[in-house]
Amino acid sequence: MLHKIVKKQNNSDKCIVCGDKNPYGFHARFYELDNGELAAVFHTKELQQSFPGRVHGGMVAAILDETIGRAICIDKPGSWGVTTEIQVKYKKPVPLNETLRAVGRITRDTRKIFEGTGELLLENGEVAAEAWAKYLKVAIEDAAGDDFTEREWHYLEEDDPREIEI
């Protein structure tokens, strides 16, 4: 189903998932959708390999982790969490050198923690991996130091899509 993009989230410099200056990372872009979910668009790379031809399972967990962890910002902009638990079900190999999508949403939100689920989609829309994860809410200063948001947390002006097929 085609979903309108409501908002694009910021990127960091060095994160392995969203860091724009991390040569080994996914260079993911995160888009808040009109159905209340968060979509990631990201590029898999040769140097993220596990067995030849497939992305390492840790990297698969990483994109799902960040997609779910960022979904809290749809309803609560400026919220941050650190992952305390994650479960991943690997259903199909994730190919190298492709542009893929992931989607996540929040399923539980309390004063201290939040939880959510997400899926990594292959180009043809099949689910390659699904995850559930739990996060402890934290102040960004505690997770990343005093000046993280000023120093390396940027809105990237780009030619972004207006809609995403999820």
Ligand X SMILES: CCCCCCCCCCCC(=O)SCCNC(=O)CCNC(=O)[C@H](O)C(C)(C)COP(=O)(O)OP(=O)(O)OC[C@H]1O[C@@H](n2cnc3c(N)ncnc32)[C@H](O)[C@@H]1OP(=O)(O)O
Residues in CB range of 119: below 8 A, 6 or more apart: 64, 102, 103, 104, 127, 129, 130, 131
Question: Which strand (E) or helix (H) includes residue 113?
Answer: strand 113-121
Per-residue contact flags (x/-) with ligand X for residues 87 to 126, judged by CB under 6 A: -------------------------xx-------------
One residue of 38, 40, 55, 69 binding ligand X per CB under 6 A: 69
70 binds ligand X (CB under 6 A): yes
Please report whether residue 65 would count as binding ligand X according to CB under 6 A: yes
DSSP label of 48: G
Q: Determine which residue in the list 3, 15, 79, 131 makes contact with ligand X, applying CB under 6 A.
A: 15
Q: How far is the CB of 18 from ligand X (least distance, A)?
A: 6
Name the residue whose CB lies closest to ligand X. 69
Assigned token pair, 120: 């990594």
Q: Cα–Cα distance between 158 and 151 in angstroms, integer?
A: 20
104 burial class (0-12, 13-18, 19+ CB within 10 angstroms)? Answer: buried
Least distance (Å) between residue 62 CB and ligand X: 7
In the bound state with ligand X, the residue whose beta carbon lies nearer, of 46 and 156, is 156
- Type of residue at 5: I
Which of these segments, 34-42, 47-55, 61-69, 88-96, binds ligand X (CB under 6 A)? 61-69
* Among residues 3, 27, 101, 134, the one that binds ligand X under rule CB under 6 A: 134
Please enumerate in sequence order all residues whose Cβ is within 8 A of that of 74, keeping only pairs 6 or more positions apart, or say none: 32, 36, 37, 38, 106
Return d(Cα 31, Cα 13) in angstroms, integer. Answer: 18
Residue 141 in contact with ligand X, rule: CB under 6 A: no
Q: Decide: is 39 part of the binding site for ligand X (CB under 6 A).
A: no
Residues that bind ligand X (CB under 6 A): 12, 15, 18, 65-66, 69-70, 81-85, 112-113, 134, 136
